Amino acid sequence: MSDEAARAVIADLCRIPNPQAIDRTAFVELGGVEQFVSIRGRSTTNPVLIVCHGGPALPSLPSSWIWQRGVEDYFTVVNYDQRASGKSAADVDDEIDLSIDRYVADLVELIAWVQGELGVTRVGVLGHSWGSIIGVTLAERRPDLLWGYVGVGQVISGPENEVESFAHAVRSATADQNKDAVAELAALGDYPGAQPLTLQRIVVCRKWAQHYGGLSAHRSGSAYFTESVALSPYYSEEQRELIGAGQRATMPRVLSQLLEFDARDRTAFDVPVLLFLGRHDFTTPTAPVERWIERVTAPSKKVVWFENSAHLCMHEEPGRFVVNLVTLALPLAAVA
């Protein structure tokens, strides 16, 4: 079967033909920038859950066909390609604002648009990886907009993440007697240390941390995730190329913000907080998150551990992911 035929099958699978469903796309101006928005769900009466994707500049919609269909039975799911990401990257220029505050303000504007379009008062936000920085910042600043916040692969301390990720890579490579890996990691010196934390140094650390299951548990690779965009029914070949273009434009300007992000002292929330954490995640390591959530005060808080997952628990354990959203998040929406 060709990729084109496979995409046609997946597109047919992902159709939502029932009359009560919603399946809409639009370009919406957020912060003066046109951003692509997808709205999908089995019933327009279901609560709204906005997915704030990671990367940076790695849209969630292309791979959503793997895991999202079950979620759509219970929630109206909104995906959006953040500024300079995916379909929103067609007209990226050097003047575009890529600050965390601007990303958060975009999300506030998106929620206002969704409120008007769907007639809802509050929404849930699910932030994954880089998107969890945007999501947790919004949850702290604008709890009035939310019935709940779900952090997946939550980032709390960029500096601590690098230390934990490097330690996992060294520990695993040493136990495996992988001389090449040990040599490459040793060449990084005191990591992250006082040297400039260049993209090249980060790539070496990530390469080996992920080789030893830090991205997908018990796997040395994650082709099921990285290559899923090739079969996505939501992106043409030209649009798929925009993903890479957006990452190249975004990473040099956003990476330092990701690495320097520190929310360890931001512990007071007026919105329920759920954390979905992969036990083997060393892409955004969980140790800093565990220490943080112990000190968090919120109307309710809950940590769900995905024992057979690393950074991609919605892909690695999709059934458990849906069950916990329905069991823990849906009741929050009902009382908001």
| Residue 194: predicted pLDDT | 82
The helix or strand, by DSSP H or E, that contains position 184, with its residue range, turns out to be: helix 179-186
Is the pLDDT reported for residue 336 higher than 80? no
What's the token pair of residue 83?
A: 């500024």
76-123 pLDDT, tens digit per residue, is 999 999 999 999 998 888 889 999 999 999 999 999 999 999 999 999
| Residue 4: predicted pLDDT | 86
Q: Report in angstroms the alpha-carbon separations of 57 from 49, 141, 254.
A: 20, 23, 9
Mean pLDDT of the chain: 95
What's the token pair of residue 46?
A: 């279901």
| Residue 123: predicted pLDDT | 98
270-310 pLDDT, tens digit per residue, is 999 999 999 999 999 999 999 999 999 999 999 999 999 99
| Residue 2: predicted pLDDT | 83
Q: How many CB atoms lie within 10 A of CB 192?
A: 20
DSSP 47: P
Average confidence (pLDDT) over 249-262: 91
Q: Ramachandran region of residue 328, left (φ > 0), alpha (ψ -120 to 50) or beta?
A: alpha
| Residue 254: predicted pLDDT | 92
